[in-house]
Structure 1
Amino acid sequence: MSLNLSKESSLKYYANTVYAGKHDNLFVISNLGQLKHITGFIKKKSIKNCFLVVVYTDVNLAVPQAIHDNYEVSIFNSVLFLKLPNNPNSLQLKNIKKMESDYKELICKINPNNLYLNSFQYHYSILASIAKKSGSKVILIEEGLGTYRLGLDEHDLNSGKLDFSLVKRLSKDTVSKTEIFKRTYKKYKLIKDFTIQSKRLAKKIYLSPEMQSKLVGFYPNSSFDSFSKPFIDFDESYTSFPELTDQKFNVKKNNYYLSFEEPTKDESDHALSIIRKYDIKSKDYLYLSQKFSINRVEYLAIVKGCLLKLLEGNDSTVFIKLHPKQEHELVLAGFIEMEKETGGRIKVIQESRFLIEEVVKVSKVQGVIGITSSALVYSPLLSPGCKSYSIADTLVSNLINHTRNTKGIDMIEAHTKILKQFENIYFI
């Protein structure tokens, strides 16, 4: 059934119908992964009287449609799709004020006892602050390793000078495109084009983070403060690493919760079929390939060296788990070539869309190898005898330092910072 977002479930439309009155538990999500997390959580904790709010933007309507098609009617009393301004995480006064207004009305109408969130920054911080002030308990549910990035990747939203260098930078794709910017012509067409591009430049300057941060300073508002600072004052949390959560957030009560402990029947059956098809044993290893913007030939050579070293002096097999978003054909061909060269000591799993954590749990492999995959963190929790190995440092140090690898290296290093907070990973 298609979700008609042209008549989105606006707050005002439902103000006196669908959600008027007290609701015990409000869950706010924005993607399918979060839907899966909270669905498992609600079932595990037997939570009743649940209200689901799905926030979305016009940029990607496929996501709310997918959530609409996949949520379980039996566990949610009501579901509301709330449209946010495009780029809701960017510093824009108009957008922030709009989201604050909508979130205030949301909390006022639903009046939840508990607000459950997977996120804690930007517009979610505004929502959490409003709920907290209204008397609701605000509860954090872990969403992968993103929960533990706090303190590692924040940037100052008020950074950047508002000076001529900003104008020069923003003019590159506006007025500087017209010849009149370089030379003065009196032809109408050029003057008209220059006028149009000048308006674009003025708009870009006004909407730039530098200008917006200055305007925030001129018009102080609690929602601006909330937007610019992560929300950390949770009443309760459910995470896989409560001690680390306690270091990062100001949480009154930390609870241990591992979402991968109870997979769906389909996930369990699929994992078991993979294990049986490839005869994966407890003595074996799994390598989790990831896609980064780096030279693929270099990537394959470095990975091959690491895997061969790991296989020295034993009769184990390393099974390659390809990236779910279709591995590049050069990388796939490279792994298949490794399989031939090693006589099957390195073996490619042709399927990619299955829950790797469940394969680790059931097969009890002795090790999982990867770059910065979240499975490196969770595998030892699911299978205590499994060791996690990251080749991130080896990969970065051996990549040739040229422009082609810069973006990928930066991303790997950023993800590695998060990974190095956990003591259950060996860096090789």
Structure 2
Amino acid sequence: MTGRRDTRTALPATRLPGTEPKAKAKANAKVRVLSAGALALCLSTAVGCGVVPGTTGGSGDDTVTVMTWAPEKTRTTNKPGMPAMAKTYARWVNDHGGINGRKLKVLTCNDHNDTVAAANCARRAVEENVVAVVGSYSQHARSFFSPLEAAGIPYLGGYGVTDDEFTSPLSYPVNGGQPSLLAGLGRQLARTCGPVTLIRPDTIAGDELPVLLDSGLTAGGHPAAVDQRAAEDATEYLGHAKRALQRASTDAREEGCVIPALGDRTNTFMDSFRRAREDYPTVRTASVLGSVDQSMVDATGSTYEGAYVTGWYPAASDERWQPMRDVIQEEAFGDNRIDVADPGVQTTWIAYTALQKAIESLGDGEVSARSLRRTLDDGLKIDTGGLTPTLSWSFQDLITASGFPRLVNADVTFQVVRKGKLATERKGFANVSKVLETTQTP
């Protein structure tokens, strides 16, 4: 479409893998292959490529220093709960004897949703000699991965908002990112919805969304969704909402579903949708966790009642989150930055759980960026208490999904809003690795 802007937005503050133009994507793929090979050579030596990876683990032999970053106090996506959860975890660990007797020191950094600030956070991590960046959120992976890769610092448990988190050899993701959520949402709606309409940005990044959603729908024997483009910066979407509702109501025998995927404008769309919905009471909404969370459901009254939501982890009410709730109660009671239903906070908890188990596996040995990479690459199995499948990043554990070579966890959960609360719609996890392995992204 003439005049289409490549603004790199799709779901909230998210640029999905594979959104470059084809020619550029091929070039980038070649660069990534070369970079990965060069990086592997550098990391195989102690001082390769003029870099000495961190070896002390922090300010002293009895302290392990890590960093967590996320945007705070910006006009767009903010994740203050992630660094707050990291600090809380460190206090809890240190109050209970540390990890193998070592204290855990957590540095935090605000990436301000800015490319330069994200790179500065990474450079600070190198200067502070951290052994890992853990449980973090940033949209600017191409800025922060270069300093981390040069210093050999692993990126453990990122939120999963960029393609680089599933391509960098130093990335150890704990979830399947937005690709798994969209493919999973398609699987969920294939069982429950009639006609499906997707409202998404008219951008190159937005072109990725219907491909991933349709891969899940068609795998479940459902027709592809109606792809409805919309301006990502509109101030109202009443016309789009009416058209989406009409399209989702073409089959009188089955209730249709409308999926808003307009990034920060999703709330604006839902306000228009609420007003237009009176004539189509049977049409339901659907989304992925991150686009919709409990705080948004609370703020919008009954707008999301009955909505289908696909997430990475069990619902916040699940008993498997009790250890996290206990730690928050003990160390951060009253800290309103930490919401147990926030997928960012949940990701940070799981990432620090993985970090602790990795450090414990080293025993009395050196804790460094190099030793952590080695134990993670060698197939360490990490049990997260059922919040994810057992995590392991050895070569044989990697999913053979095109474009996502570092993806190891393609499990998702199906939830639904009932009586104003996100609740489990189907018990257990659904694995979408086969769907992703057969998906050809633009």
Q: TM-score, normalised by structure 1?
A: 0.29
Q: TM-score, normalised by structure 2?
A: 0.29
**Per residue, is there more helix in 1 or in 2?**
1
Structure of greater Rg: 1
